[in-house]
């Protein structure tokens, strides 16, 4: 545990930030994948965020979890909070009316299909 100006920080056994408690109250929690990439954050305000990475290890988006339906038949789904992908070269078949989501889906799925795309972090 480390206490400094404005926050108390705790670390896990692999020396990764596990919790952060600001002096103003609340606690933020963090979760990691086996390769040390942060994949989960629960903010002090209670918002949960999930991070997804491409096969090269670059973060492609931040997502929150939403639900539809009513208890006990709730259906969880991911809501895009932020995307970090832009295409440096034209993507085959991408037309302005199709938007970025189909192109992103194809880029993530198309690693072994011979499709030539290049994604980069902003």
Segment 35-93, tens digit of pLDDT:
999 999 998 888 899 998 888 888 888 888 888 888 888 887 778 887 776 655 555 55
Section 16-42 average pLDDT: 92
Q: Any residues with CB less than 8 A from the CB of 57 and at least 6 apart, and which?
A: 35, 37
Residue 117 — very low, low, confident or very high, per pLDDT cuts 50/70/90?
A: very low
With 70 as the cut, is the pLDDT of residue 118 above it? no
Give the start-to-end residue ranges of the domains of the chain.
1-44, 47-122
Closest CA to 54 of 106, 94, 1: 106
State how far the Cα of 39 lies from the Cα of 57, in Å rounded to an integer: 12
Within the chain, how many helices (H) and strands (E) appear? 1, 10
With 70 as the cut, is the pLDDT of residue 94 above it? no
With 80 as the cut, is the pLDDT of residue 107 above it? no
Give the pLDDT confidence score for residue 116 in this predicted structure: 44
């Amino acid at each position: 545990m480390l206490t400094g100006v404005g926050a108390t920080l705790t670390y896990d056994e692999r020396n990764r930030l596990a919790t952060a408690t600001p002096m103003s109250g609340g606690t933020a929690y963090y979760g990691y994948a086996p390769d040390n990439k942060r994949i989960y954050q629960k903010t002090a305000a209670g918002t949960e965020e999930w991070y997804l990475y491409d096969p090269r290890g670059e973060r492609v988006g931040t997502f929150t979890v939403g639900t539809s339906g009513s208890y006990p038949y709730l259906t969880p789904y991911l809501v895009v909070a932020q995307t970090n992908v832009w295409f440096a070269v034209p993507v085959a078949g991408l037309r302005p009316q199709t938007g970025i989501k189909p192109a992103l889906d194809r880029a993530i799925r198309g690693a072994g299909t011979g499709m030539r795309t290049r994604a980069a972090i902003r």
